Structure 1
């Protein structure tokens, strides 16, 4: 990132901050249908794979990813979590999401919002946990007076994930 991003009005900053905090709370409390309603119908939800390469070579592979979802596939994932075949999330993970370093830039039809995400995830009674950390870039736009996510790109800070599965949303 070079230079300082253009400033947005305080009301916008607060609305975006509250939106991201509320979104994290919905996920942490397993309210997936309500979370899904935060997305536009044409959403793109991607997480390209980071690779370790020598200087001068691309460090991200955009053509493949941990996931590449649209509204329909997100809906399928949400509905699957409510069934008895979501084995990776049965019993459900205990999660806590921390969204920080929120940067907001005005865009033609909304805002480009970059934030840091840390996901704490615990499974079972063994005392083990996962930490998944990365940078999210969201495109938020107003739809019928509400902010909605029309694009989310998550770039994880790991080339190899230390978690057994990625059955949770980021």
Structure 2
């Protein structure tokens, strides 16, 4: 497979994933995850210019989920007590600048994928909306000929999120 074909396959996976999330088909989305999934959104920290420390916290996370916690979150959105999603959010994900590369010494048939994400969310009947922007670093794994998401780290551009909650997946 050429690098171009690999990138197209990864783009197709990411666009399908975005469609499932935007359509609130969370159980179908959950089926795209591996059993050993890591889903991380480290907190961004503003540093002085020239600092050698990372802009992202190694200790503070907005999300730090695994298969079990993601399952719980998906199930929670299905019940009457998902107050953060009442009224339900309307989301649109824009995934762009997809870059993909095979990993060297790759026993698990994993692919490293980077992409940019712009997420728009509105809720209720007001003009208020959220825009969340960042870069995603994913690890996709071929399982039975299909890609599954094995790891996602989202590096948000904002240090402060002007949103009421994070009741959605990035």
Deviations 1:87-144 (A, max 9, x none): 1111210000000000111112321000000000001101110000000000001011
**In 1, Cα distance between the equivalents of 2:127 and 2:64?**
31
Q: SS in structure 1 opposite 2:15?
A: helix
Q: Residue 94 of structure 1 corresponds to which residue in structure 2?
A: 90
CA contact (8 A) 1:8 1:104 kept: no
Gaps of 5+ in 2: none
Going from structure 1 to structure 2, the CA distance change for 1:114 and 1:8 (only over 3 Å counts) comes to farther
Deviations 1:66-101 (A, max 9, x none): 010001100100000000111111121000000000
Going from structure 1 to structure 2, the CA distance change for 1:8 and 1:139 (only over 3 Å counts) comes to farther
**In 2, Cα distance between the equivalents of 1:71 and 1:58?**
27
Q: Residue 37 of structure 2 corresponds to which residue in structure 1?
A: 43
Q: Residue 53 of structure 1 corresponds to which residue in structure 2?
A: 47
CA contact (8 A) 1:104 1:114 kept: yes
Q: Residue 30 of structure 1 corresponds to which residue in structure 2?
A: 24
CA contact (8 A) 2:3 2:100 kept: no
Aligned Cα root-mean-square deviation (Å): 1.2
Q: Residue 59 of structure 2 corresponds to which residue in structure 1?
A: 63
Q: SS in structure 2 opposite 1:75?
A: helix
Q: SS in structure 2 opposite 1:83?
A: coil
Gaps of 5+ in 1: 1-6
**1:32: how far off?**
0.2
**In 2, Cα distance between the equivalents of 1:43 and 1:80?**
19
**1:10: how far off?**
3.1
More displaced stretch, 67-76 vs 54-63: 54-63
How many residue pairs get aligned? The number is 164
TM-score, scaled relative to structure 2: 0.93
**1:162: how far off?**
0.9
